């Protein structure tokens, strides 16, 4: 080839480039990669000093990161592993095709697993270590849509029956079925992590890896080399959560974390970056964040071609195509590849001249080549000091041929015609004849076949089967009566908020001999807001590197103490990250066999509303622990206004089935709920977790009025009876949280000014009451011949006379949803509408939930009942200074 005749755009001769490359090669050969890297670094510095403006790029060429010469030997039987993988491919496809034949549109995904099969199989055969008594095991987040492949493997492993496979996506069939995606709630012995709401699992995996270090640094588990693997889609990386915490992983040097991004360049509708290169984009993002990035782009068939390309033209060409073009190549013939890819330069054409069109078409991508994938995984597990991301190029719908390989429709492909099935069968060598194969039967070779024996032997060597979810923690034993007792006694007139009471409880729990070590306080930069700064000093803020500086407030009592064995997870301003820590800590009873008890306290408005989907995932995962919505209540949080004042979260907690949501008013209520919660979750092992709103309004905490524990837990109890039970005018007032005090004030006003005797109830949980009412109704409906049961609300109010008025700091729908089980109509006051920047008194006037409005509502109910004259109400409105022309808070 006549190099001298060719020139590059800036007029340099190729031969000059060639000389530079050759001298680098010779350095590489004689002195190794470190010296070569040093020279390049010096060159770069020299260039900068001499005014050469090198553009910043975090990218490396569009080539495999691990060169062939550094590839380790593949330790397995490649042919046998290919056969096993083919069987899994077949069964994964069969379960989706069969399910959709039986029930049209039942759904399922073939093409995601088809693209990821090699990525998983190399992991299963060589890397993923199971959990056992001796070793904590690796933690694997499987890409949700790849679940058919994971089930199909478990079928070959003999862990899932053919009947279950048959009932994929039909979980309610006799004998049970398989859930569409990984859901620990539905398959608690199998799946560990819900991953299908895309973007959540990468973030959860990062915090899981960090939590593993936290447990080690606090001496709660041995230091191991266990890894956290997260498999994600390239399209999934567009979710902000996916990459949102990657700098935490590098900052914390999480070399126990490995991301594998299945870069099939496609998402659901089409290409992830038709006009760009998702792999290069991800590489620069991860490298920029300090991760070790391993690109696995090209399979072994490319190696000899690359070797022939001494001028680096092929790698350059590889970097020129946008993803849309690459996708086109996947669905095209070898002749097309020759013309459109290699045809851009006669020298490239020459490189592949001896190769047939068919062999060009069959040039595999890196993510489909076990040797390349193995090399990447091995490098990843051996990486020290950084997390690793593997960017593996694959083809979506690999092996589906005309039925969808590389096509834009492939994500939704669920049915194959007879020809397509036969082709798939032949391509992967499934021993089924033409007739049998169109029935798409599941296929499992005999137990003593080499395939099954090999597969079992590999899993034995890796300690057992993955995924497996099991609970390895032992129940805690103490009753903690002593710990919580003091809070039953009230504050003796001292004004404290429920938040302060909670922090006091937390301080005591942290000192408890049994549970003290297990407590994991989690805050997203709000500890001072909640008066928790004293804990900084006493239990320390976790930092994997201790404290390298003298804190500015070192001379104060409550200085900012970071420590390697610190207990508080101070996450900074990330509710999502804090929630991921909550999930890691709250599921450690299963993942690690350790009963850590997370207390995650945050601004209540930034919880259910902002990170609701993480809460849903926590619920699915059977996470345990306490979420505390601090600064709660639309009118109790003064000053902050529209964004911060929360009147919603108790409604948003309703749909999460296993969340126990409470809005306690007093310290003793909080103590009763937390003590019982610890018992239910950590002694009885219930799959529930708690949402408690705590407020910052200080008031004297009363003593517990007798044994009302049951009522507190069930959702309501009578806190204070009317003084004059004989009065003709009667009312029942229901208050929650800080608004209970307004109800108590109203009780007084009603009694002294209007002769109305009112009982006051503390409603600690509308959600509990609602669930109880519904459950009772349902039971009665389904058991008509038995004695009807009575909802708890109805039982409470059976003999309670008078009109009914409820007030809370949340929207009115909460009391309204239980009113049908009340003996008479209910008047509901609540805080529907946008908050305002104002003080408490004005806010409660604005939202019409203060004692005056409760009084007016009560008198109005009495008027409706014909118990009082209208003039009484008119006068009350005037006397109480209620502005009847004020704006409606709901719409203003």
Ligand X SMILES: Cc1ncc(C[n+]2csc(CCOP(=O)(O)OP(=O)(O)O)c2C)c(N)n1
Q: Please report, as ranges, the residues that interact with ligand X according to CB under 6 A.
A: 112, 115, 145, 196-199, 233-236, 262, 264, 266-268, 272, 396, 411
Q: Which helix (H) or strand (E) holds 409?
A: none
Q: How many CB atoms lie within 10 A of CB 235?
A: 25
In this complex, which beta carbon is closest to Mg ion, that of residue 266 or of residue 499? Answer: 266
Q: How far is the CB of 275 from ligand X (least distance, A)?
A: 16
Please work out, in degrees rounded to the nearest 5, the angle formed at the alpha carbon of residue 382 by the alpha carbons of 381 and 386: 85
Which two tokens mark 347?
């020298």
Closest approach, Cβ 318 to Mg ion, in A, equals 19
Phi/psi for 715 (5° steps) reads 125, -20
Per the rule left: phi > 0, alpha: psi between -120 and 50, beta: everything else, 205 is alpha
Q: From Mg ion, ligand X, none, which one binds at residue 145 (CB under 5 to 8 Å depending on kind)? A: ligand X
CB of 421 to Mg ion, least distance (A): 24
Q: Please state the three-class secondary structure of 133-168 as a single string.
A: CCCCCCEEECCHHHHHHHHHHHHHCCCCCHHHHHCE
First vs last C-alpha separation in the chain: 79
Instruction: Extract the tokens encoding 9.
Output: 């755009």
Q: Which does 112 bind (CB under 5 to 8 A by kind): Mg ion, ligand X, none?
A: ligand X
Instruction: Establish if 235 lies at the interface with Mg ion (CB under 5 A).
Output: yes
Q: Measured from the CB of residue 223, what is the shortest distance to ligand X in angstroms?
A: 34
Say which entry of ligand X, Mg ion, none residue 196 contacts (CB below 5 to 8 A, set by partner kind): ligand X
Q: Which does 595 bind (CB under 5 to 8 A by kind): ligand X, Mg ion, none?
A: none
**Least distance from ligand X to the Cβ atom of residue 400, Å:** 13
- Interacting partner of 677 out of Mg ion, ligand X, none (Cβ under 5 to 8 A depending on kind): none
The nearer residue to Mg ion, 233 or 625, going by C-beta atoms, is 233
CB contact at 8 A, 667 and 498: yes
Q: Which does 462 bind (CB under 5 to 8 A by kind): ligand X, Mg ion, none?
A: none
> Which lies closer to ligand X via its Cβ, residue 142 or residue 342?
142
Which one of ligand X, Mg ion, none interacts with residue 284, CB within 5 to 8 A by kind?
none
Contact flag: residue 404 with Mg ion (CB under 5 A): no
Nearest approach in angstroms of CB 236 to Mg ion is 7
Contact pick of 111, 264, 645, 648 for Mg ion (by CB under 5 A): 264
Tell me whether residue 179 or residue 264 sits nearer to Mg ion (CB atom). 264
Contacts 24+ apart (CB under 8 A), 796-800: 796/711, 796/716, 796/717, 796/718, 796/761, 797/732, 797/822, 797/823, 798/823, 800/718, 800/732, 800/759
Residue 827, sorted as left (phi over 0), alpha (psi -120 to 50) or beta, turns out to be beta
d(CA 560, CA 296): 44
Lookup result for tokens 């190794």: 32
CB 75 → ligand X: shortest distance, Å?
27
Out of ligand X, Mg ion, none, what residue 268 binds, judged by CB under 5 to 8 A for its kind, is ligand X
Q: Which stretch binds Mg ion (CB under 5 A): 139-147, 153-161, 234-242, 315-323?
A: 234-242
Residue 136 or 241: which CB sits closer to ligand X? 241
Closest CA to 585 of 218, 240, 186, 256: 218
236 touches which of ligand X, Mg ion, none (CB within 5 to 8 A by kind)? ligand X
Question: What residues form DSSP beta bridges with 692?
Answer: 628, 662
Euclidean distance between CA atoms 339 and 264, whole angstroms: 23
Q: Cβ atoms within 10 A of the Cβ of 1, count?
A: 11
Size of the site for Mg ion (CB under 5 A): 5
Q: Residue 356 CB, nearest distance to ligand X (Å)? A: 30
Q: Which is nearer to ligand X, 235 or 715 (CB)?
A: 235
- Of 704, 677, 675, 711, the C-alpha closest to 691 is 677
Q: Where are the beta strands (DSSP E) in 306-400?
A: 388-393
Task: Give least dist CB 429 to ligand X, A.
Answer: 25
Ramachandran category for residue 501: left, alpha or beta (phi over 0 → left; psi -120 to 50 → alpha): alpha
CB of 340 to ligand X, least distance (A): 24
State the nearest-atom distance from the C-beta of 185 to ligand X, in Å: 17
Q: Per CB under 5 A, which region of 5-13, 189-197, 266-274, 289-297 contacts Mg ion?
A: 266-274
Separation in Å, CA 701 to CA 305, 316, 668, 739, 808: 79, 73, 8, 14, 18
Q: How far is the CB of 177 from ligand X (least distance, A)?
A: 20
592 touches which of Mg ion, ligand X, none (CB within 5 to 8 A by kind)? none
- Give the nearer residue to Mg ion in terms of CB position, either 263 or 731: 263
Sole window of 229-237, 387-395, 742-750, 767-775 interacting with Mg ion (rule: CB under 5 A)? 229-237
Tell me which stretch binds Mg ion (CB under 5 A): 73-81, 232-240, 379-387, 787-795: 232-240
Select from 213, 262, 256 the least CA-distant residue to 242.
Answer: 262
Query: Binds 414, which of Mg ion, ligand X, none (CB < 5 to 8 A, cut-off by type)?
Result: none
Please state the closest distance from residue 608 (CB atom) to ligand X, in A: 17
The minimum distance between CB 613 and ligand X, in angstroms, equals 7
CA distances 664 to 146, 619, 650, 700, Å, are: 43, 22, 12, 14
Q: Rounded distance, CA 88 to CA 101, Å? A: 20
State yes or no: residue 233 binds Mg ion (CB under 5 A): yes
Q: Which is nearer to ligand X, 145 or 444 (CB)?
A: 145
Nearer residue to Mg ion within complex by CB, 109 or 386: 109
> What are the start-end ranges of the H helices in 528-666?
534-539, 575-586, 588-591, 608-620, 649-652
Q: Pick between residue 230 and residue 500 the one whose CB is nearest to ligand X.
A: 230
Residue with tokens 């219930």: 686
Which residues neighbour 11 within 8 Å (Cβ) at sequence distance 6 or greater?
none
CA gap 633, 635 in Å, rounded:
6
Asked if 664 interacts with Mg ion (CB under 5 A), we say no
Binds 459: which of Mg ion, ligand X, none (CB < 5-8 Å by kind)? none
Task: For ligand X, give the closer residue by CB, 148 or 625.
Answer: 148
Which residue's Cβ lies closest to ligand X?
233
Judged by beta carbon, residue 97 or residue 351, the one nearer ligand X is 97
The residue among 164 and 396 lying less far from ligand X, judged by its C-beta, is 396
The vertex-440 CA angle with 438 and 442, nearest 5°, equals 150
Q: Does 410 bind Mg ion (CB under 5 A)?
A: no
Residue 131 or 153 with smaller CB distance to ligand X: 153
Q: From the list 71, 166, 192, 234, which residue makes contact with Mg ion (rule: CB under 5 A)?
A: 234
In the complex, minimum distance from the CB of residue 244 to ligand X, in angstroms, rounded to a whole number: 14
Rounded CA separation 670/694 (Å): 9
Q: Which residues of 382-396 are buried (b: 16+ CB within 10 A; e: fewer)?
A: ebeebbbbbbbbbbb
Considering beta carbons, is residue 242 or 264 the nearer one to Mg ion?
A: 264
Contact residues for Mg ion, defined by CB under 5 A: 233-235, 264, 266
């Amino acid at each position: 080839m006549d190099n001298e005749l060719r020139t590059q755009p800036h007029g340099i001769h190729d031969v000059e480039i060639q000389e530079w490359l050759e001298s680098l090669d010779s350095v590489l050969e004689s002195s190794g990669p470190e010296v070569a890297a040093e020279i390049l670094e010096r060159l770069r510095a020299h260039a900068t000093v001499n005014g050469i403006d090198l553009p910043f790029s975090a990218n490396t060429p569009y080539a495999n990161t691990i060169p062939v010469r550094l590839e380790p030997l593949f330790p397995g039987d490649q042919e046998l592993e290919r056969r096993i993988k083919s069987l899994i491919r077949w069964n994964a496809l069969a379960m989706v095709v069969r399910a959709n034949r039986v029930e049209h549109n039942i759904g399922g995904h073939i093409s995601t697993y088809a693209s990821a099969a090699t990525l998983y199989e190399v992991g299963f055969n060589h890397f993923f270590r199971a959990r056992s008594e001796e070793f904590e095991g690796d933690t694997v987040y499987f890409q949700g849509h790849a679940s058919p492949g994971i089930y199909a493997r478990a079928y070959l492993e003999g862990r899932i029956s053919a009947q279950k496979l048959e009932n994929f996506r039909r979980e309610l069939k006799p004998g049970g079925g398989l859930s569409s995606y990984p859901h620990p709630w539905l398959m608690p012995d199998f799946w560990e992590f819900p991953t299908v709401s895309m973007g959540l699992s990468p973030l959860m995996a990062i915090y899981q890896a960090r939590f593993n270090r936290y447990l080690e640094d606090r001496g709660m588990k041995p230091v191991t080399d266990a890894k956290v693997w997260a498999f994600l889609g390239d399209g999934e990386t567009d979710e902000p959560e996916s990459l949102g915490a990657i700098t935490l992983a590098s900052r914390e040097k999480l070399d126990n974390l490995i991301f594998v991004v299945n870069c099939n360049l496609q998402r659901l509708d089409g290409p992830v970056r038709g006009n760009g290169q998702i792999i290069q984009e991800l590489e620069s993002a991860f490298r920029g964040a300090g991760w070790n990035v391993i690109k696995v782009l090209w399979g072994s068939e490319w190696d000899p071609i690359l070797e022939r390309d001494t001028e680096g033209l092929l790698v350059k060409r590889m970097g020129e195509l946008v993803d849309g073009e690459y996708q086109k190549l996947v669905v095209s013939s070898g002749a097309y590849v020759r013309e459109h890819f290699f045809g851009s330069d006669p020298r490239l054409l020459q490189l592949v001249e001896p190769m047939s069109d068919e062999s060009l078409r069959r040039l595999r991508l890196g993510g489909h080549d076990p040797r390349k994938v193995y090399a990447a995984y091995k490098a990843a597990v051996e990486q020290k000091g950084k997390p690793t991301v593997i960017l593996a190029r694959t083809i979506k719908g690999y092996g589906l041929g005309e039925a969808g390989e590389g096509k834009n429709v492939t994500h939704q492909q669920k049915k194959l015609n007879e020809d397509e099935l036969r082709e798939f069968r032949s391509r992967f060598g499934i021993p089924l004849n033409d007739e049998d194969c169109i029935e798409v039967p599941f296929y499992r070779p005999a137990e003593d076949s080499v395939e099954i024996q090999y597969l079992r032997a590999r899993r034995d060597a890796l300690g057992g089967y993955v995924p497996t979810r099991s609970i390895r923690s032992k129940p805690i034993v103490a009753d903690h009566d002593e710990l919580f007792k003091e809070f039953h006694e009230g504050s003796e007139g001292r004004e404290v908020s429920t938040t302060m009471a909670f922090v006091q409880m937390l301080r005591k729990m942290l000192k408890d001999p049994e549970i003290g070590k297990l407590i994991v306080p989690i805050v997203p930069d709000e500890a001072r807001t909640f008066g928790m700064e004293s804990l900084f000093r006493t239990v320390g803020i976790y930092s994997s590197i201790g404290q390298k500086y003298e804190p500015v407030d070192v001379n104060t009592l409550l200085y900012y103490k970071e420590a390697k064995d610190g207990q508080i997870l101070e996450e900074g301003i990330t509710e999502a990250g804090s929630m991921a820590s909550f999930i890691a800590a709250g599921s450690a009873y299963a993942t690690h066999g350790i009963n850590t008890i997370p207390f995650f306290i945050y601004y209540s408005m930034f919880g259910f509303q902002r990170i609701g989907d993480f809460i849903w995932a926590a619920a699915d995962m059977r996470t345990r622990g306490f979420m505390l919505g601090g600064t709660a209540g639309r009118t109790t949080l003064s000053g902050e206004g529209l964004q911060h004042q929360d009147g919603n979260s108790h409604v948003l907690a309703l749909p999460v089935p296993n969340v126990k949501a409470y809005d306690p008013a007093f310290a003793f209520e909080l103590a009763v709920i937390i003590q019982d919660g610890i018992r239910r979750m950590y002694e009885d092992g219930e799959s529930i977790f708690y949402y408690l709103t705590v407020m910052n309004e200080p008031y004297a905490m009363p003593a517990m009025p007798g044994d009302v524990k049951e009522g507190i837990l069930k959702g309501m109890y009578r806190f204070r009876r009317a003084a004059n039970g004989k009065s003709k005018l009667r009312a029942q007032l229901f208050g929650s949280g800080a608004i209970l005090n307004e109800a108590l004030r109203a009780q007084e006003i009603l009694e002294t000014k209007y002769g109305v005797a009112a009982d006051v109830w503390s409603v600690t949980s509308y959600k509990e009451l609602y669930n109880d009412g519904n459950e009772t109704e349902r039971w009665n409906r389904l058991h008509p011949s038995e004695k009807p049961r009575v909802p708890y609300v109805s039982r409470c109010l059976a003999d309670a006379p008078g009109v009914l008025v409820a007030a809370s700091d949340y929207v009115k729908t909460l009391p309204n949803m239980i009113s049908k089980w009340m003996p008479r109509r209910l008047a509901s006051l609540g805080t529907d509408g946008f908050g305002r920047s104002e003080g408490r008194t004005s806010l409660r006037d604005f939202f019409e939930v203060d004692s005056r409005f409760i009084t007016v509502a009560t008198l109005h109910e009495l008027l409706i009942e014909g118990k009082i004259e209208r003039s009484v109400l008119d006068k009350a409105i005037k006397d109480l200074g209620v502005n009847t022309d004020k704006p409606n808070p709901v719409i203003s």
